[in-house]
Structure 1
Amino acid sequence: MSITRLFRHAALVAGAAVSMPGLALAAENGAGFYLLGSKGPAAAITPPPGVYFQNDIWIYSGNLGGGRALPRGGQVAVGVDGDAVLEAPTFLWVLPEELFGGSVGLSATIPFGWMKTSADLTLTGPGGGVLGGNVTDTVFTIGDPLVGGVLGWEAGNFHWQLGTIINVPIGDYQKGEISNIAFHHWGADVYAGATWLDPTVGLDLSGVVGMTFNAENPATDYRTGNEFHFEWAAVQHFNEQFDAGLVGYAYQQVTGDSGDGATLGDFKGRAFAIGATVGWNFKVGEMPVSTRIKYFHEFGTRNRAEGDSVFLTVSIPLSITKPMNIAAQ
């Protein structure tokens, strides 16, 4: 195994993903802007100074089941089924300057895609007046942009990061619709990650813990509570091109929803997921390309849909101004 290539490919996988945002499922609309499962192998490795591009496609299908209710679009929906195919192109700029001895990265993402939501029944207000039954809403539109920052360090095989992602509420949001990709409120996610990548055996152990904070949606008077998330990955690199392993996440809303629109009370969500991942690295001419597929199956959910998701990821460097220091490896 080439140590240089292994570390370089691992860094590229992490590179554009260090501030990868998302559209996960929990809280108002059964959705939060941090995408559960977006972190994975090499999650805390910061690539060398340069500009990187990553494109993520997220495919999700789930349902609430059991006649349970979910707040969506300022209404209350029962028997919700949802499907989505979303794309999230991300640009990452890793600065040549250091801060507190670590590398600094800045990112921007503009998500867009398709979402279809069906509900057996929709209700409104605390009295539960019926608005309609068998409602289906389909959209193809643009979501809220996200900007992020990360500060990363390394010492031998150990890499760690601190980062944040900000949801900017200027996407296409339609009040009263049960399908929305945009969230129409400010939000911030702060996280810390660590990766142990041993090039002698090709083992990658990564974990990320974070908290999402949400402002009130002015269109629905609904404020989602604070959301805790933990993601992990255990991957074996078999050679410089191929790796495979396990991934998973845990989600728990730690404070209740609030505001006049929170007619279902605090509505704290919970979810767990486990899955598998495969990575493949190759070159197009002289350009290194890192690709990855991740699959997650959710279980143990509460107050949110339960389903399956697939991530398809492609990462490439647009320019690298300073090679990664691997002399100590």
Structure 2
Amino acid sequence: MSGHIRKTGLATAFALAAFTAQPALADAGGVSFWLPGIFGSLAAVPVTPGWAYSTIYIHLQEKAGGGQNFVTSGGVPGSVTAGLNAHADALVMGITYTSPMPVLGGQAGFTLLTVPGNIGVGIDATLTGPRGNTISGSATDNRTTLADVFYQGTLKWNQGVHNEMVYITGNIPSGTYDSSRLANLSFGFPAIDAGAGYTYLDLKTGHEFSIVGGLTYNFMNPFLQYQNGIDFHVDWAASQFVSKNVHIGVAGYFFQQLTDDSGPGARLGGFRGRAVGIGPQIGFMIPMSDGYQGYLNVRGYKDLEVENRPKSWSTWVTFSVSPAAPAPAATKPIVRKY
């Protein structure tokens, strides 16, 4: 079974809410290029070579509010009281080709993704400066648009119950970014992310554990003159197969911005973000005809802790279709001739 289980958390690597009017939060608008929770169970398990299709529906709800004390880039203290409510509904559609030819002793795969979706943003904010001057305002925006085009390359290895992976992913700006809008699914700048992962999968006991970590480098947003800092992230998942085709468990993430935001547009300082989240998951293997198999996974996350980021909860529904492993050849009975 492990040789042909389709990995569910294809790296979409897009922000579902680029709140460009609020650079006071970590990263441009408080949402990173890397969306925590992208990788899930079975992340590093090799798959059957060939073409595969995956679609992921993601609902993301974010909220930020209350008084937050900040220090401007010039070292002058200020206070920001902000209210933000945002939601996003996105449909990630991707195709993957996995090569039958070994590469460095492992299995190579390449994925392309596109993401249409709807995003709505509402902001009610008050800025109080060091001299006591106050500026207030509110704004809303709703938009149905496209995210950037995303790519991912992977190499995977298997040694019994142990599976390893390295990956690289990034985006190609789509041109739908609009710096005058609050609601954007695209970024307006390229970014690149790379990392490694491990999956333990014991088919005899049904135990499974996956962990993937990586680093993100963000290039300058030329429209805002704002560059997000380098981000570190870890996604993990643990599950138990309760039958041949069903597994249940938990999944979570840790996200930490390592370096300050920078550039002329980063007027309120570095604001390194952090997020820790966890939630349940369930997955179903679906036998199909014509040499293919399906996989359905439903999982959800809720932030337990955030720093300089909106607090969020999200729901992920993944369905993928991939080549099934060839059935083992039937052994012929031994006929003895005397």
2:234 corresponds, among 216, 219, 230, to: 230
- CA change 1:101–1:18 in 2 (3 A) is farther
Matched, 1:120 2:127: no
Larger-Rg structure: 2
Which among 297, 306, 310 is matched to residue 302 of structure 2? 297
> 1:285 Cα shift?
3.9
Match in the other structure for 1:307: 312
Within 2, Cα distance between the matches of 1:86 and 1:127?
Answer: 43
Equivalent position of 2:21 in the other structure: none
Contact 2:3–2:46 (8 Å) recurs in 1: no
- Counterpart residue number, 1:40: 40
Of 156-165 and 76-85, more deviation after overlay is shown by 76-85
Closer, same or farther in 2 for the Cα pair 1:258/1:201, shift >3 Å?
Answer: same
Pair 1:53-2:74 in alignment: no
**Using the alignment, how far apart are the partners of 2:252 and 2:104 within structure 1?**
31
Partner of 2:229, secondary structure, is: coil
In the alignment, does 2:15 pair up with 1:23? yes
Cα distance in 1 for residues equivalent to 2:154 and 2:131: 46
The superposition leaves residues 47-90 of structure 1 with CA deviations (integer Å, 9 ceiling, x where unpaired) of 121111110111111211214499xxxxx993111111111111
Gap runs ≥5 in structure 2: 18-25, 71-79, 329-338
The answer to whether the 8 Å contact 2:210/2:238 transfers is: yes
Q: How big is each residue's C-alpha offset from its partner over 1:22-62, in whole Å with a ceiling of 9 and x where there is no partner?
A: 32675112222222101111011121211111101111112
SS of structure 1 residue aligned to 2:40: coil
Give me the whole-angstrom Cα distance separating, in 2, the residues matched to 1:122 and 1:232: 37
Matched, 1:12 2:6: yes
Separation in structure 2 between the aligned mates of residue 241 and residue 33 of structure 1, nearest angstrom: 33
- Partner of 2:101: helix, strand, or coil? strand
Q: For 2:146, which of 126, 142, 155 is the aligned residue?
A: 142
Give the direction of change, closer, same or farther, for the CA distance of 1:217–1:132 in structure 2 (3 Å limit).
same
Given candidates 215, 220, 234, the residue that maps to 1:216 is 220
The question of 1:107 aligning with 2:99 is answered no
Partner residue of 2:321 out of 316, 320, 324: 316
Q: Decide whether the 8 Å contact of 1:29 with 1:178 is kept in 2.
A: no
Does the 8 A contact of 1:48 with 1:324 survive in 2? no
Instruction: Compute the TM-score of the two structures, normalised by the length of structure 1.
Output: 0.87
- RMSD of equivalent CA atoms: 2.6
Partner of 2:336: none
2-side partners of 1:131 and 1:91: how far apart?
47
Alignment partner of 1:99: what SS?
A: coil
Alpha-carbon distance change, 305 to 83 in structure 1, aligned in 2, over 3 angstroms: same
Conserved in 1, the CA contact under 8 Å of 2:46 and 2:157?
Answer: yes
1:295–1:215 Cα change, 3 Å: same
Q: Are the equivalent residues in 2 in contact too, given 1:22–1:36 (CA < 8 A)?
A: no
> Residues of 1 paired with 2:221 and 2:62: CA distance?
24
Q: 1:3 corresponds to which residue?
A: none
Mark the runs of 5 or more structure 1 residues left unpaired by the alignment.
Answer: 1-5, 71-75
Contact 2:2 2:45 in 1 (8 A): no
Say whether the 8 Å CA contact 1:107–1:149 is kept in structure 2: yes
290-299 or 17-26, larger mean C-alpha shift: 17-26
Question: SS where residue 102 of structure 2 aligns?
Answer: strand
Say which SS state the counterpart of residue 177 (structure 1) adopts: coil
Contact 1:77 1:119 in 2 (8 A): no
Report matched runs for 1:261-300 at 5 Å. Answer: 261-286=265-290, 287-300=292-305
Cα pair 1:47 1:324 within 8 Å, conserved: no
2:41, 2:210 within 8 Å by CA — same for their partners in 1? yes
Identity %: 30
Residues 260 and 240 from structure 1, CA distance in 2 versus in 1: closer, same or farther, beyond 3 angstroms? same
Within 5 Å, which residues of 2 pair with 1:162-177? 162-177=166-181
Aligned to 1:73: none
Q: What is the aligned partner in structure 2 of residue 91 from structure 1?
A: 95
Displacement of 1:113? 0.3
Deviations 1:294-315 (A, max 9, x none): 1111021011110211100001
Structure 2 Cα separation of the partners of residues 125 and 215 of structure 1: 29
CA contact (8 A) 1:80 1:117 kept: yes
The AA in structure 2 aligned to 1:97 is M
Task: Describe how 1:237-248 pairs up with structure 2 within 5 A.
Answer: 237-248=241-252
- Deviating above 4 A after TM superposition, structure 1's stretches of 4 or more consecutive aligned residues are 122-132, 322-325
The count of corresponding residues between Structure 1 and Structure 2 is: 310
